[in-house]
Amino acid sequence: MKNKKFFSENLRKWNILYNTRQMPWKGERDPYRIWISEIILQQTRVQQGLEYYNRFVKKWPDVKSLASAEEQDVYKMWEGLGYYSRCRHLIATANYIAKESGGKFPNKYDEILLLKGIGHYTAAAIASFAFQQPYAVVDGNVFRVLSRFFGIDVPVDSTAGKKQFTALANELLDKKNPGIYNQSIMDFGAVVCKPALPLCSECVLNKKCMALKTHRVAALPVKGKNIQTRNRFFNYLIIEHNKKFYVNKRSGNDIWRNLYEFILIETDGPMTVKKFLQSKAVISIIGTGSMVKKVSGVRRQKLTHQTISGKFFHIQLKGVTPFLKRFKKVSPKELGALPFPKFVTSYLPD
């Protein structure tokens, strides 16, 4: 593959002369802080993740403090970021490090890779940034830069593609300064070789960029997999009794595990308000004679593999049914301290 030397030399020059991208974790050597930033930035825009990162490291500045935190508090801090398995793995890994190594973060790539919620990309980021170990990071920015410059049309989400791009990234890596190199190629993909409207005319690599030469900038990188989306309809009963509300903590392997919600009845789709409230499922929960204070319109949230639609039914309960005894009863103040999925919190202010 041609032009590897040109690529590396000009990327290094760009980083020295033109890279002004600022983030609080750039140049960070603390593996804990690097870990927190990388987990937050998975599936999250930098602008949104920045505020969460700052709050996280201020409240829990090291592994031991995070491990000793109440699980509910950590989920509440994470509220709104989505992809809550990240938070679950964060808690599990903090507890593991605190218990198994006295709070000392592993300092070898292979050991870091064994931690829950950490894949090859995150392990490479921590190993190279914190410990200057020669492992290349391969994220969306890196895929895009390499695919366009070298004209690689192998799907980046295929096994063959991941293998090819990882091998190329490691070959190009500056082994003496792996952390600086990794950060520079990610920054370059974020501010120059952008997904849309890349700055090709001012790019230091444009003389030998294969995508630019062959007019394939918009076509690269290639993705091969189509995500199958599942549609679901959630009916939430916001049941109030004696100025308290009934809530449930989600469990199992479904979405929003360990977050709280109001009492949920999932249906195949929307029903008329009358038909829904007269259904056996609803009557078994609220009994008869309860007052419906308000019914929301249909609300939607798109997740990676699912689209959630649903309604909220505000109900003033007349009397407690046996069914409700299995749920937690909380005050409005307690309600505000519980972590809820965005689908619920985006409605609550109404």
Catalytic residues: 38
Whole-angstrom distance between the N-terminal and C-terminal Cα of the chain?
A: 58
Residue type, 126: I
Which two three-digit tokens encode residue 16? 């020295």
Using DSSP's 3-state secondary structure scheme, residue 101 falls into coil
How far is residue 182 from each of residues 94, 185, 235, measured CA to CA in Å? 25, 6, 46
What does the alpha-carbon distance between residue 183 and residue 185 come to, in Å, rounded to a whole number? Answer: 6
Task: Tell me how many helices (H) and strands (E) the chain has.
Answer: 16, 7
What does the alpha-carbon distance between residue 123 and residue 87 come to, in Å, rounded to a whole number? Answer: 17
Pure H helices in the chain: 4-17, 31-41, 46-59, 63-67, 71-78, 85-100, 109-113, 120-131, 140-150, 159-172, 178-191, 210-213, 273-277, 280-286, 332-337, 342-345
Residue 176 has what DSSP assignment? Answer: T
How far is residue 8 from each of residues 3, 109, 329, measured CA to CA in Å? 9, 24, 60
Residue 64 CB partners (closer than 8 Å, separation 6+): 98, 103
What does the alpha-carbon distance between residue 115 and residue 36 come to, in Å, rounded to a whole number? Answer: 13
Which two three-digit tokens encode residue 55? 């709050």
Which two three-digit tokens encode residue 36? 């927190």
